[in-house]
Structure 1
Amino acid sequence: MNVSGRGFWFPPTVLQPAADDDRAVREEIFGPVVAILPFDTEEEVIARANDTIYGLAGSIWTTDGARAMRVARALEIGALAINSYTAVRVGTPFGGFKQSGIGRELGADAADAYTELKNVFFAT
C-alpha cells in the first residue's frame, strides 16, 4: 500500500483471533481492518455484536436466508448488508444506532436530520 500525506495509515489488516475486550473490537475503526471473533451459536453472536455503544454498520455472511433475516432483525445496527460489504445506497437511509451518529443521511429520511417538528395549536 502506497499512502502519502498526514495521518495514520494501515494496509488491509485481519486481526485474528481477537477477544471481546480488545480495543479493535470495542471501538469503531474507519479503515480496512477486521477483527475475527469465532462463535458457536446464533444467540451468542447477536449478544456479542449488540454489546457495544456503537451500531453504525455491519454485514452478515451466510447461505441461510432465514438465519440472515433473524440475525438482521436482532442486531442493533443502522445499516446492515447481507452477503455484501456495503448497505449504502443513494435512495436508502444511512446512519447508525446508539452512539454511531445522529439521524439519517441519504434517502427520503435525510430531511428529518435537518428538521425539528413542532405542533402549534391556535384557537380562534
Structure 2
Amino acid sequence: MVSPRTFPLLTEDRTLPCDQMLSIDSIRKDFPYFQIHNTNDDLWKKGINCMPHKEFNSIANNFLLWCKAMRRKKIFIVSHDGTITAYREILTKQKLTIEDFLGETGWIRINVIDYVNEKSLQIF
C-alpha cells in the first residue's frame, strides 16, 4: 500500500492537509493501465498515514513481495516524501530522518530484488 504516511510518525494520529488519499475508484478511472495491489477495503479507507510501525511493516512487506512477484524489470511507485522515506527505511535497513527526504520532485532507484525476500522486513 502506497499512500500518504507521516514521517516521522506522529503520536497524536494527526495528518497534514496534503495527506488526503485518492479513492481506488478515482485511481482506476484516472489511471486505467495501472496495476493496483489487491487489499482490503478498510485499508483503502483508513490508509497507512498514522498506522503503528509494526502494522505498517507487515503491510509494506506484503506490498513489496507483491512487487517482486510481478517479475517486471521496472516498477514505478509514485507517492509522497514521508511514504517514500518510510519504505526506504525498510528496504535499506537504515534509520532515516526528515533530513533524508528526497526533496521536491525527488526520486530514488532501488533494486527491490536485492532487499526483498520471503523473510519479514524490519522497520526502525
What TM-score range do you get, normalising by the shorter chain?
under 0.3
TM-score (norm 2): 0.28
Higher relative contact order (CA 8 A, sep 6+): 2
Structure having the higher helix fraction is: 2
